[in-house]
Amino acid sequence: MAVKFGVFVPQGWKLDLVEIRDPVAQFAAMTAVAKAADAEPGWHSVWVYDHFHTVPEPAPETTFECWTVSATLARDTARVRIGQMVGCNGYRNPALYAKIASTVDVASGGRLDAGIGAGWYAHEWRAYGYGFPEVPQRMRMLREAVQVIHRMWTEERPVFRGEHYAIEGPINEPKGVQTPHIPLWIGGGGEKVTLKLVAQYGDACNVGGGNAETCRQKLEILQKHCAEVGRDYGEIVKSTGVNVFLVDEGANLERATAQARGATPYEEFAKGTWVGTPDQIAERLRPVIDAGIDYVIVYMPRLAYDQEPLRRFAREVVPHFA
């Protein structure tokens, strides 16, 4: 089975632009990574996060806004698809979200993958004045939002009245370039709500965080939801995300990862990041692919300062799954 691969650009959210102090130069570094991926046929897409504050702690450092970045990358690249993993529903009215996505799809010539999820980062929710509803309410909001978005992309004068959102015949023109509509990627592994929404309205899911057994379990549940609602499970893209740090054969792993992990001990860094040679990374991916994943979205630290790992992954890892 051919597997597709996407890569996150350095956007600041993971403190991956802090060694560049000028914000204009930071944006240029981010764009340069997207252009480098665009030049490597092994990469199918570039991705951004939808966050306002950095992790693991909110810090007064750059985090570029996701939809503005998506629009600019749409014009700065020519081939790769552009996605958000994932858009936070609480940050934009879903009708506005649909309108923004429609515009970016046109700007990209039909290369948008629009991501949506319930959201989770409480600090930035509250700091930006959105409050922070409890999980059940955020999930009800997401359920209504995907219906609004879907109608905005497929109906001429959509009407929807829910507990949290309502639309009264908005005009959304153009609706985008892609047919029948822009692909909607619904992120999250919630078994009762999120995965059922994927079965009903999603064109792709993102589950498992690179854990093969978790991916398998979530996809089995998704398959059941598809059967219940009469959806073709094969139509849905099954994606997961992994953090990767490439090293040379025989490298001292602590020394090779020193800049990327900073004060974090190597053992802790390696728990959340796959460290290995291209062949080793490919071997770690095989059970994930065998679990049913057909799309892998990769985060690689320090791409703002060194694009060579991006090229090595495209040339030495991706061919294992062509």
The band of 13, judged by pLDDT with boundaries at 50, 70 and 90, is very high
Report the predicted TM-score, pTM, of the whole model to 2 decimal places. 0.96
The answer to whether the beta carbons of residues 120 and 91 sit under 8 Å apart is no
The band of 1, judged by pLDDT with boundaries at 50, 70 and 90, is low
- Burial (CB count within 10 angstroms: exposed 0-12, middle 13-18, buried 19+), residue 185: buried
Q: What is the widest separation between alpha-carbon atoms in the chain?
A: 63
Across the chain, where does the E strand assignment appear? Answer: 4-8, 45-48, 81-84, 87-88, 112-117, 159-161, 166-168, 184-187, 204-206, 237-246, 274-276, 295-299
pLDDT of 291 reads: 98
Can you tell me the distance from the alpha carbon of 112 to that of 102, in angstroms, rounded to the nearest whole number?
9
Asked whether the CA dihedral 140, 143, 146, 147 is positive or negative, the reply is negative
Asked whether the CA dihedral 125, 296, 106, 65 is positive or negative, the reply is positive
Query: Exposed e or buried b for every residue in 229-258, given b needs 16+ CB within 10 A?
Result: eebeeeebbbbbbbbbbbbeeeeeeeeebe
> Quick one: what percent of the chain has pLDDT higher than 90?
99
The answer to whether the beta carbons of residues 93 and 144 sit under 8 Å apart is no
239 φ, ψ (degrees, to nearest 5): -115, 160
Can you tell me the distance from the alpha carbon of 1 to that of 204, in angstroms, rounded to the nearest whole number?
17
pLDDT of 22 reads: 98
Q: How many Cα atoms sit within 13 Å of 91 on the Cβ side?
A: 23
Question: Rounded mean pLDDT of 113-142?
Answer: 97
Question: Could you report the per-residue pLDDT of 257-305, keeping only the tens digit for each?
Answer: 999 999 999 999 999 999 999 999 999 999 999 999 999 999 999 999 9
Question: Could you report the per-residue pLDDT of 69-110, keeping only the tens digit for each?
Answer: 999 999 999 999 999 999 999 999 999 999 999 999 999 999
Q: Where are the domains of the chain?
A: 4-321
Tell me which DSSP letter residue 15 carries.
S
Strand partners, 47: 8, 83
Q: Which CATH number applies to 4-321: 3.20.20.30, 3.30.2270.10, 3.30.43.10, 3.30.200.20?
A: 3.20.20.30
Residues in the chain: 322
Q: Which two tokens stand for residue 261?
A: 């992990």
